Amino acid sequence: MLLLHGDLYVRILAAVLFIIAGATDYLDGWYARKYNLVTKLGKILDPIADKIILISCFFVLSSLTHLDVYSFWWVIPIFLREVLITIIRFVFLSKEKPLVVASSLSGKAKTTIQFMTLSLAYLIFMFRNYGNIQPLFWIEFILYALLIASLLLTVQSGWSFFSKNWKYL
């Protein structure tokens, strides 16, 4: 909501909070792996936290269509994949013998690319809204390349998740 209804300083605060969320997400995972502190709860909660942050940011930025950053339709496949995989993870946890499925490398790559996509989209939003600056063509080109990479990794990592875990359903 900071993004939709704030002035310049509130929107800068929103950007800082997003950067902190992305950085701490990376750091807590790195720390847990380095010091062998990975837990089942962490394997469950970390991907859910990522999904909440990313999906909400994708929807908020896409709702600013009057700024023509990117369309709402880019978000639908990402949203569907995240919801389906989260539901399936909860189904696995509710079984008699609970199964915790950790994030795969392709899922982590997808999340990283999505964070990069949102960061660049937000930068373009801020340029257009406050600087009255039209970003250079190549910056927008990079945004659309990241959006396409996000979608491709979303589909690929979703397919990988389903093909590896279908037998457990």
> What is the structure's pLDDT at 101?
85
Question: Per-residue pLDDT averaged across 20-43, rounded?
Answer: 88
Answer whether residue 133 shows pLDDT above 80: no
Question: Per-residue pLDDT averaged across 89-94, rounded?
Answer: 89
Residue 68 banded pLDDT, cuts 50, 70, 90? low
Answer whether residue 99 shows pLDDT above 70: yes
Residue 135 banded pLDDT, cuts 50, 70, 90? low
**Taking all residues of the chain, what is their mean pLDDT, rounded to a whole number?**
84
Give the DSSP letter string of the chain.
Answer: -HHHH--HHHHHHHHHHHHHHHHHHHHHHHHHHHTT---HHHHHHHHHHHHHHHHHHHHHHHH-GGGTS--GGGHHHHHHHHHHHHHHHHHHHHSSS----PPPHHHHHHHHHHHHHHHHHHHHHHIIIII--PPPHHHHHHHHHHHHHHHHHHHHHHHHHHHHHGGG-
The rounded percent of the chain whose pLDDT value lies above 90 is 28
Residue 155 banded pLDDT, cuts 50, 70, 90? very high
> What is the structure's pLDDT at 36?
93
Answer whether residue 82 shows pLDDT above 60: yes
Lowest mean pLDDT among 47-61, 66-80, 115-129: 66-80
> What is the structure's pLDDT at 125?
80
